[in-house]
Chain A
Amino acid sequence: MVNIKINNIPVSVEEGTTILQAAKKIGIRIPTLCYMKDINAIGACRICVVEVKGARSLVAACVYPVNEGMEVFTDTPKVRASRKTTLELILSDHNKSCLSCDRNTHCELQDLSYEYGCDINRFSGEHHECEKDVSTPYLVRDNSKCVLCRRCVAVCRKIQEVGVIGPVKRGFKTHIGCAFENDLNDSPCVACGQCINVCPTGALHEREEIDEVRAAIADPEKIVIAGPAPSVRAGLGEEFGYPMGTNVEGKMITALRMLGFDKVFDVNFSADLTIMEEANELVERIQKGGKLPMFTSCSPGWVRYLEYYYPELIPNVSTCKSPQQMFGAIVKTYYAEKLGVDPSKLYVVSIMPCTAKKFEKGRPDQSASGYPDIDAVLTTRELAKMIKQNGILFNELVDGEVDSPLGIYTGAGVIFGATGGVMEAALRTAAETITGKPLENVEFKKVRGTKGIKEATYDIGGKTVKVAVASGIANAKKICEKVSKGKCDYTFIEIMCCPGGCVNGGGQPIMSSVVRENTDYKALRASVLYKADKKCGLRKSHDNPVIKEIYDNYLGKPGSHKAHEILHTSYVKRERYKK
């Protein structure tokens, strides 16, 4: 142990501890901006500087290890003045359109500027040159608001191991961009949006579709249908002051109606439908000797990753469309028929915890009715923004009920949002399909939890089935390597692009780095889904009465020709960089 004093308070910490961590131990928060625990301790922004007795200059607390007898001062006039100047310099090169910025009141730079009483105009001068990158359908990079903290770079490189962005050029001209200064669209970005989630300012945000949705709602010719994903109800409350891990499904449904959606359905329903098709595909592959292991295909970021980096594994991926796309497809075919309207009159809006879904809706082979399955994708954050913009007092709302029939779901559909959820839901159905007997215990607990890679072996009808679950691309990469080299005996593999699954998707409410460090947010949000699953009377997708009805009267059986036409898709090999 190393004994030091911080602001004259003695503290004893393990060797290798940084000043920042040591200070936290005795209740002192040293402000940070670029720092993110484990992945971005680089000492770049210099907000966390402190005085160390005897040191030549100020030191960055986030990276400076303690040593015996060290005396640290975290709040001297010199330290405060330095931090203030650093902030004022950052502000001097910052697009200060804070009043209407997407991140107003959610901005770490704004919070710090307030905390240090910054004069936002003390240093004025040239701003670094930049253009907004609006090349993708899912993400906007506005470098005029970038503080070069590199948190986005770190998450892209170290958590997702995709590394498509990095600092470009030098000095004052430094900016974050892609190789060869390509647009993001010309890079092998997987569209996960994790960079948005870690951005402390408004430099990164999703490509908004609020205006398009509002226009559709205002159009008397259109029947506008909302389909929120499982994880949205687990995150949306955070935008309205609810503690993390609060289920706001009822209020969300009421709010969607108040926003003017004609029908409020639920993507939980189409998650059940996905399981019907996917479990059937798995059973068929097992029984008929198809390509194994089979990968799930629900996560468009994961699919995009595979297409860029492991195209040789495309035959291993389930051909099932994702729940979002199945939702739109069934609305515009089955439901349109039921309503007796032309699918062109239907405008389907999915609400997603995800940015990759905005990309997915534009993929080829995703127009079962002849019209795009999905017309617009809103993130959880965009929905919250619309609710606020419309003067809806979310916290005052009474709980609403979803519309029938496409809002009815089972517990299996709900847990899709957590890593391992799709696996568990599929196992529930596959087990009963294979054995033909009702499942005694529907909870497959070994595939639950926020660990990056989980493995489990189950005995299903006398057959040993080895499964793996991975979330986050770095983990997916490990699994892909194994599969690619034929070094595994998995039957079924669930992969989610974002660490922890969709509850931690790139479209979920923003947390400050401090909250990220101190909260088990993946588990808290996932707990909403597992609690909801437990409360459901029906917990297996094939028990969903609406699903039964659809197969009986419309699709035939899972894997039927019609089901394939409407609910399945195909993939393409993608070149990482244009030649």
Chain B
Amino acid sequence: MNYNELVAIKERALKAMGPRAADHTLKEIKERTVLVCGGTGCTSGKSRVILEEFREEVAKAGLSDRVKVIMTGCFGLCALGPVVIVYPEGAFYSQVHPEYVHEIVESHLVNNTVLTKYLYKETVKEEGVIKALNETDFYRKQHRLALRNCGVIDPENVEEYIARDGYLALYKVLTSMSQDDVVKVMLDSGLRGRGGAGFPTGRKWMFAKASQADKKFVLCNADEGDPGAFMDRSVLEGDPHAVLEAMAIAAYTIGSDQGYIYVRAEYPIAVQRLRIAIKQANEYGLLGNNIFGTGFNFNVEVRLGAGAFVCGEETALMVSIEGNRGEPRPRPPFPAVKGLFAKPTILNNVETYANVAQIILNGAEWFASMGTEKSKGTKVFALGGKITNTGLVEVPMGTTLREIIEEIGGGIPNSKKFKAAQTGGPSGGCIPAEKMDVAIDYDNLIAIGSMMGSGGLIVMDEDNCMVDIAKFFLEFTVDESCGKCTPCRIGTKRLYELLTKVTNGTAELEDLDKMEELCKYIKENSLCGLGQTAPNPVLSTLRYFRDEYVAHVVEKRCPAGVCKNLVSYSIQPDKCKGCTACARKCPVGAISGTVKNPHVIDKAKCIKCGACMATCKFGAIVKG
């Protein structure tokens, strides 16, 4: 492969791709592209069947030469999946059912009439008129950089990646930049690790470049394990070559010829697309030996993780690749000096890599112009929990939580009140409503007791009990602790037991002090980042929602009505019509009464499942 060949492929592919963006200026539409989301969410909603249906229907309608049907990565709006977009109109069909396909093809592709009834409501200006996708609330404030190819290209076709300037950055680096040049660009760009801790990527590369060794390694951390986080998965599924290209650039920079991508076995689609991508890149001479005839060699292999959360910690990940039980080892020595197989190693996260080629092509200044003083560029968040637009969003650093939740996320469903947002997964903390206007970046999040983490963002409303939330996240770390060091293995367990006392109503006020003490101890004494951050959900909820803890402890009451031990159901006799619906619904036979007479709940029998309350049409059942 040489430059001319690469450019030739780019031009050929661009032509072959057909329309991939909305173009409302066209008078006459000659060709169309149907993009079907092939992300995990949409796939589980049968998007593969939809893809096949489209191909079949298009062929049947004799449109094969004018309509391309392509499977892409994630569009981001997972709540509306399965999603299909038809260009050049930019018609965004949401919650598509395989049975709709025939109708869509018939109306839209054959008769040129967009089928408005299946479109995402937000995108319908008026009957027949489509609002551009980037004018909708969900997309308007987004800035898709790491996700630039997700939902645009076919991730299983390297030529489509090349069409979008793919591998040009690698060419530039190999033919016109020294190793130090690359380090400088990375340093100047201000790119920080997107995996959680936010360590400057350029510095990481600089240290590894400075280490002298006969062998060095470049690793990609794709062991995304935070509950509710799926941005790395989406990048791998939607744009795997972006990661491969960046790894090759990193390898050139530090002087490595071997890379490994450590990815969870629970991401089968990502694994499959990575393997396809590696195979194609090798076939095109974009990986392997003597890349672009420069004498630079770089090979990449996939390593599957068995699902241990701790293997996302860098040393544990390396220990796991080496074939041992995934457990962290003490640092120093740092991986840049002594990493995988005791050789200098750099490890970057998927999303970090997804930025690299763009930085090389557009320059450090371009990247540094986005974001805040110390956090440059954009960040992808996986929105989940009590939010209307569940999905994947990418915003410039410095965007506020309010913008993300209320504007992009479409607010809280069912007119409930926002209570808190959890960032950083089990290592992060809960951010209360009064901090919603803080500009999100690495340092601000730490200052308010949370952290960026990998980008999970879980929204909670008034129905969530914050003690219960803290317990949920802590339970995760208790289970996922590797068991090596004492503070994490036993400390988090004891902390969890104390939280359980609170939710059971058996705790005393001293227990809250004991919890705080334990939290600080675990943070200061744990061997790795997992333990050092494990108490954050407890500490941040104690900091912002202490009154909820106190209500559990002193009043033996769960204000949100979540903690079963502190909740009881009763029937208000004046409202009960004696319809017997609740008694019939009760799974344990705790409700008794005769027809047309007020019923009674036997509290000794009641398991507090709430089924009666949900059944009662008269609002006669109260929780308190």
Interface residues of A (CB under 8 A from B): 42-46, 49, 57-58, 60, 63-65, 82, 85-86, 89-90, 92-93, 123, 125-126, 148, 166-167, 169-174
Contact = CB atoms under 8 A, between A and B. Distances in A.
A92 B494 CA distance: 9
A44 B527 contact: yes
Interface in B478-502: 478-487, 489-494, 497
Interface in B308-342: 308, 310, 325, 327, 329-330, 332-333
A125 B493 contact: yes
B524 interface: yes
A167 B483 contact: yes
Top-8 shortest CB links A-B: A174-B483, A43-B330, A171-B481, A63-B330, A89-B490, A172-B493, A125-B497, A57-B524
B523 interface: yes
B500 to A, nearest CB: 10
Interface centre among A58, A60, A89 (most CB of B within 10 A): A89
Contacts of B487: 46, 86, 89
Contacts of B532: 57
A86 B490 CA distance: 9
Nearest to A83: B525
Contact of A89 (B329, B494, B523, B524): B494
B489 A174 contact: yes
A171 B494 CA distance: 12
B120 interface: no
Given A65-B332, A171-B481, A86 B494 contact: no
Contact of A46 (B310, B478, B525): B525
A43 B482 CA distance: 14
Contacts of A85: 518, 521, 525
Contacts of A49: 525
Contacts of B325: 166-167
B330 A172 contact: no
Contacts of B484: 42, 44, 148, 167, 174
Nearest to A49: B525
Contact of A93 (B329, B481, B485, B490): B490
Contact of A171 (B329, B479, B527): B479
Contacts of B478: 171-172
B198 to A, nearest CB: 14
B485 A43 contact: yes
A112 to B, nearest CB: 12
Given A49-B525, A166-B325, A172 B497 contact: no
A57 B523 contact: yes
Interface residues on B, range: 20 to 34
B490 A42 contact: no
Contacts of B493: 93, 125-126, 171-172
Interface SS of B by simple majority: helix
Nearest to A169: B483
A64 B484 CA distance: 17
B481 A90 contact: no
B323 to A, nearest CB: 13
19 contacts: A42-B330, A43-B485, A46-B487, A46-B525, A46-B527, A57-B523, A57-B525, A90-B490, A93-B490, A125-B497, A167-B325, A167-B327, A170-B310, A170-B480, A171-B480, A171-B483, A172-B483, A174-B483, A174-B484
A58 B526 CA distance: 9
Interface centre among B308, B483, B497 (most CB of A within 10 A): B483
Nearest to A172: B493
Contacts of A42: 329-330, 484
Interface in B292-318: 308, 310
A170 B481 contact: yes
Given A43-B330, A44-B527, A167-B325, A172 B490 contact: yes
A86 B330 contact: no
A531 to B, nearest CB: 44
Interface in B578-603: none
A314 to B, nearest CB: 31
B479 A82 contact: no
A46 B486 contact: yes
B482 A171 contact: yes
Contacts of A65: 332-333
A89 B526 CA distance: 13
A286 B377 CA distance: 79
Contacts of B524: 57-58, 82
A203 to B, nearest CB: 15
Contact of B494 (A60, A123, A174): A123
A170 B527 contact: no
Contacts of B489: 148, 171-172, 174
Contact of B527 (A60, A123, A172, A174): A60
A170 B492 CA distance: 13
B317 to A, nearest CB: 15
B486 A86 contact: yes
Given A57-B532, A89-B491, A92-B490, A173 B525 contact: no
Interface string B497-536: 1000000000000000000001001011111000010000
Nearest to B324: A166
